[in-house]
Structure 1
Amino acid sequence: MKFFIDTADLDEIREAMSWGVLSGVTTNPSLYARTGGKLADFEAHMAEICRVCEGLPVSAESQAKTTEGMVEDARRLAALAPNVVVKLPICEESLPATHQLASEGIRVNMTLVFSAPQALLAARAGARYVSPFVGRFDDIGDDGLAQLETVVRAVKNYSYGYWDGEGGPEIITASVRTPNHVTQAALMGADIATVPFAALRKCVRHPLTAEGRAKFDADWEKVSAGA
């Protein structure tokens, strides 16, 4: 399974890139707002993320509300860098936009997917990536992982033709909160997990690893003291 980082924070992206584990970046308006970014600087910020992550897909989201506006935004965003992926929310306006963009070779990440029918429609319209959410289901007392499994099974039953040469559409597990979300997504066969940096750190750490390191350090101190 591939790891994307779900952030617009350049420092987080640079650090995660240094680990050698990233295959892409996803952003959204909320994540950009958390950086303190301004509207006038949005495209320059996305271009810088693309530069830092050269060759890796970087999702930049359109806030347009019409099909025409989404297509216009997508063309402009795609012109920023060859690794831009345009993020669109699943809705009646975004499906024809995605179909048009796919015909132009512009990759779309269809986001805010919460059901298998939504995911299937996104895939059929030509989305390169489909992003079902997990954590937001958990927030309302539902089982986000069960919902994800339904999406994965449904989408992978079929081939779609638009991105066969690239292996798409790929399923991005989104709204990831815990290492268990990552584990279960991998076991289900989801292609990608897009993970906030705090959750990515949790994936590295384990209490038994920390305990083991502490014991090794203590024993090595004894060896060093007797040198």
Structure 2
Amino acid sequence: MLLLLDTANLEDIKKGIDLYPIEGVTTNPSIIARENTNFLSRICDIKDTIGSGRMLHVQTVGLKADDIVREGVYLNQLMGDNFYVKIPVIPEGIKAMKVLKSMGVATTATAIFTPQQVVMAARAGASYAAPYINRIDNIIGDGVKVVEDISRIISTHNLDIKVLGASFKNTEQIHKACLAGAHTITAPLDLVETLVNHPLTGASVEKFSIEWESVYGKKLTYDF
């Protein structure tokens, strides 16, 4: 399973990459807008920060296939390797996925709420599918069950697409989505940090330090 950051905040990206095994970044128009900065400049800054070895998934703002394709091609040429054009699974978006696939541009289907949307996206050539876990829960659905159904359909029909779980609000959702078969998850830094936090871990480390210092003192030395 891969771990991505869902953000456009450069400081969060730098911190996340420094501390955790982050494989890339995802953004969307809402996330970019929160930064109150130039869209294109921020995308370029994110790419420079994460480098060519990590993935970058950027959502288009166009709603017509021609506009989505035009924007996707431009961003792909600008960003280079490991770039994915995020496209909502609306009819015009499915059409754009087909066109971009024929042009060799990688895409991520987003704003997914049902397994059948993933089937359509997979057949259209998308590489990743991003179901919105918490948003599904918010409409009295079951986001984790949707991931489970998607994973089963992918396996049963040997579809060439991976599940990128998105829209998480707590660690339990991430945990259950992983168990349900998500290949990748994307979350804000504050939520990623909860994946390693546990009070007993902190208590254990504190106990180690206290017992060490009671014998050896606070200064760490080695005999080599």
Q: Establish whether TM, by shorter chain, passes 0.5.
A: yes
Map residues 93-112 of structure 1 onto 2, 5 A cutoff: 93-112=92-111
Output the amino acid matched with 1:77. L
Distance 2:156 2:27 in 1: 28
TM-score (norm 2): 0.90
- Is the contact between residue 147 and residue 163 of structure 2 (CA under 8 Å) also seen in structure 1? no
The answer for the alignment partner of 1:6 in structure 2 is 6
The answer for the alignment partner of 1:138 in structure 2 is 137
> Mind listing any 5+ residue stretches in structure 2 that lack a counterpart?
220-224
Output the amino acid matched with 1:12. D
Q: In the alignment, is residue 61 of structure 1 matched against residue 59 of structure 2?
A: yes
User: Are the structure 2 counterparts of residues 173 and 222 from structure 1 closer, same or farther at C-alpha, using a change threshold of 3 Å?
Assistant: same
How many matched pairs?
A: 217
Distance 1:17 1:221 in 2: 32
Q: In the alignment, is residue 74 of structure 1 matched against residue 66 of structure 2?
A: no
| Equivalent residue in structure 1 for 2:195, among 193, 199, 203 | 203
Map residues 41-56 of structure 1 onto 2, 5 A cutoff: 41-54=38-51, 55-56=53-54
1:168-204 Cα deviation digits (max 9, x unpaired) = 4211011122222222222222210111111100001
TM-score (norm 1): 0.89
Distance 2:32 2:131 in 1: 20
Identity over aligned residues, as a percent?
30
- Is the contact between residue 109 and residue 130 of structure 1 (CA under 8 Å) also seen in structure 2? yes
45-54 or 210-219: bigger deviation: 210-219
1:106-139 Cα deviation digits (max 9, x unpaired) = 1111100000111110111001111111111223
User: Are the structure 2 counterparts of residues 20 and 200 from structure 1 closer, same or farther at C-alpha, using a change threshold of 3 Å?
Assistant: closer
Q: Secondary structure at the match of 1:22?
A: coil
Distance 2:131 2:216 in 1: 52
CA RMSD of aligned residues (A): 1.8
User: Are the structure 2 counterparts of residues 223 and 127 from structure 1 closer, same or farther at C-alpha, using a change threshold of 3 Å?
Assistant: same
Output the amino acid matched with 2:171. P
> Mind listing any 5+ residue stretches in structure 1 that lack a counterpart?
161-167
Q: Secondary structure at the match of 1:142?
A: coil
